[in-house]
Amino acid sequence: MSKTALLPPEPQVAQLPWHKQLQQSLQQRRDAGLYRQTRQRQGEQSVEVVVDGQSFLSFTSNDYLGLASHPDVRAAFIKVASEEGVGSGAAHLLTGHSVHHQHLEEQLAVFCQQEAVLLFSTGYMANIGVIDALTGRNDVVIQDKLNHASLLDGGRLSEARQWRYAHNDMQQLHRRLHQTSDAGQRLIVSDGVFSMDGDLAPLPEIMALAQQHRTAVLIDDAHAIGVLGSQGRGSVEHWQLEPASYPIVVGTFGKAFGTAGAFVAADEVVIETLRQHARSYVYTTAQPAAIAAATSVSLRLLQAESWRREKLQALIEQFRRGAEQLGLPLMDSQTAIQPVLMDNEHQALAVGQSLEQQGILVGVIRPPTVPAGSARLRITFSALHQSEHVDRLLSALEQACAH
Ligand code: PMP
């Protein structure tokens, strides 16, 4: 038999002219230095990782507190998976909602000082579900331009009119509120900590404007929950808001909690509305119960072990001091997300490669994930890093940026 006879026939889709256009656009992306690729990690998710067979010291994960590999978190996951199986088998509103989900929701409501909590299978799904469920045709959604893609996508799904304001520009937000005063309901939406810049939304100012204009606020605290505030309650604790002026909060478990999934914390009426109407809650399989059980353990650990937040903060400060001495272009971030700006995407790739040759892995972030002209290295820290790791990173950066 000839070799070609073993190949599958050309699929129907590949015969279409449209398929050629897809190929061309992939090639353009490659040529522009914007092509994204998956790599394979083997073994444990930690600060020392093996990727594509090579060992690296990694500054790429959002496991800010080092809980993803914590023995108690693993043990809770394994116990419930062995008792109850892996898959939850159904949506929450059918039989997918286990006692472990219920406990986690109740514990999170207490932690967040809000009336109620609803779990979602991912943060992406929480964000699209909430915005779509809470706003409709006569309403307006007003978002920071640098909000996470899932928030912007939530706006696209909703039938509400979409407005944006320049990043953290409170004067422009104020103008937007005046411009939309004829709308039905309005929802201001912002990241609590911006995922690519690492800076904070000015929550007290946003809440004051919202109060003045009788507008609801949704804060995506994916990068703040567990990390900011002395007890890890996120942006509201960092800014010392009173519970009466808390926004609706989305938190995710894939970062500081070290597990997977997400939640929304708000008052009973909002949470009940989401349970009834959030399509990404109603029409999807509940996250595995073992994840909920492991997340409950993470929640206990992150409250009990404030040393993790303190250590993380010390590492961040050590890095910023060292990077400033090297004259690296840092951004205005005090959080575990520390971007270093590059001249362009080609330089970002070259510096990323040089770091890899020195055994260091960082995120190389290019448009469209960030605005054109703002390619950067995205360096994230974890409480599992040691001070020597930061020294190694700084000397590797010095060498990589010297070329
Ligand atoms: N919001 C923000 C700010 C994020 O950075 C992310 C994930 N990178 C998400 C939401 C989505 O969360 P998840 O990964 O749980 O889907």
pLDDT in tens, the chain (403 residues): 555 567 888 889 999 999 999 999 999 999 887 888 899 999 888 999 999 999 999 999 999 999 999 999 999 999 999 999 999 999 999 999 999 999 999 999 999 999 999 999 999 999 999 999 999 999 999 999 999 999 999 999 999 999 999 999 999 999 999 999 999 999 999 999 999 999 999 999 999 999 999 999 999 999 999 999 999 999 999 999 999 999 999 999 999 999 999 999 999 999 999 999 999 999 999 999 999 999 999 999 999 999 999 999 999 999 999 999 999 999 999 999 999 999 998 999 999 999 999 999 999 999 888 999 999 999 999 999 999 999 999 999 999 998 6
Judge if the beta carbon of residue 124 lies within 6 A of ligand 1. yes
In terms of domains, do 264 and 365 share one? Answer: no
Residues 6+ apart with CB under 8 A from 207: 217, 241, 245, 247
| Annotation marks residue 195 as catalytic | yes
Tell me if 14 is assigned to some domain.
no
State which amino acid sits at residue 153. D
Domain with residue 394: its CATH number is 3.90.1150.10
Residue 227 near residue 234, CB atoms below 8 Å? yes
Instruction: Give the span between the Cα atoms of 274 and 134, in whole angstroms.
Output: 8
- Please give the structure tokens belonging to residue 60: 């790429």
Ramachandran category for residue 66: left, alpha or beta (phi over 0 → left; psi -120 to 50 → alpha): left
Tell me if 52 is assigned to some domain.
yes
Final residue belonging to a domain, choices 304, 329, 353: 304
Tell me if 1 is assigned to some domain.
no
> Which atom of ligand 1 sits closest to the CA of residue 260?
15
| Annotation marks residue 79 as catalytic | no
Ligand 1 center to 216 CA (angstroms): 21
In terms of domains, do 221 and 244 share one? Answer: yes
257-280: string of b/e by CB count within 10 Å (b at 16+)? bbbbbbbbbbeeebbeebeeebeb
Q: How many domains does the chain have?
A: 2
Which has the closest alpha carbon to 207: 235, 231, 179, 183? 235
Domain with residue 204: its CATH number is 3.40.640.10
In terms of domains, do 57 and 77 share one? Answer: no
Judge if the beta carbon of residue 262 lies within 6 A of ligand 1. yes
In terms of domains, do 46 and 133 share one? Answer: no
Task: Output the CA torsion 234→100→134→259 (10° steps).
Answer: 50
In terms of domains, do 216 and 322 share one? Answer: no
- Catalytic pick among 150, 195, 374, 382: 195
Judge if the beta carbon of residue 254 lies within 6 A of ligand 1. yes
Ligand 1 center to 151 CA (angstroms): 9
What is the enclosing helix (H) or strand (E) of 291? helix 289-304
> Strands 41-42, 48-51: parallel, antiparallel or unpaired by DSSP?
antiparallel
Tell me if 3 is assigned to some domain.
no
- Please give the structure tokens belonging to residue 192: 């609590």
Q: Look up the domain containing 392 and give its range.
A: 40-65+306-402
Do the annotations mark residue 124 as ligand-binding?
yes
pLDDT in tens, 337-351: 999 999 998 999 999
